[in-house]
Structure 1
Amino acid sequence: MHARLYQRPKHALQSGHAHTGEWLLEFERDDRIRADPLTGWTGSGFTAGQIQLRFANQDAALAYAKANDLEVEIVPLAPKTLKIQAYADNFR
């Protein structure tokens, strides 16, 4: 089974840093999403796609993946870019 491992980024609309050090392990979908012929709702039989495991660090997540024979893709955290400008720049 394939899984994706990434570090939770800081939420853009909040100034706090709660839960930003957590590592998340999500299972990748391995079957198609299909429409139900009766209701028209979409879904699949892959229930592991609804699970999101949280770990304190990357080593603990990789140890879990190794113990459960998971193929893990590590997604790096995007670099932070700051646009520094003065308040006076709004009026130029």
Structure 2
Amino acid sequence: MADKSLNRTELVAAVAAASGQSQAAVNSTLDALFSTVAEEVGKGTKITIPGWLSFERTHRAARAGRNPSTGEAIQIAAGYGVKVSAGSKLKAAAK
């Protein structure tokens, strides 16, 4: 696993330094990006940033499961999840 991590504050500071924008401007841009991604994925729209990332809503069928504390069989309702895939540029950067 990665030895380092970058939290949101550190990411905002790094992007602000690299772009010459204020941290407030970068922070509001990230808020708008995440809000838009969440809204569109919630509608079922696939979002693709070629070479970097793609976000897609996936459907999970209803299934049988077990309550881990009692061992009782339960029915898990159908629902949705989100699939995030790395693009070629991001994969190449990770090598």
TM-score, normalization: structure 1?
A: 0.25
Point out which structure has higher relative CO (alpha carbons under 8 A, 6+ apart): 1
Structure 1 or 2: larger helix share?
2
Q: TM-score, normalised by structure 2?
A: 0.24
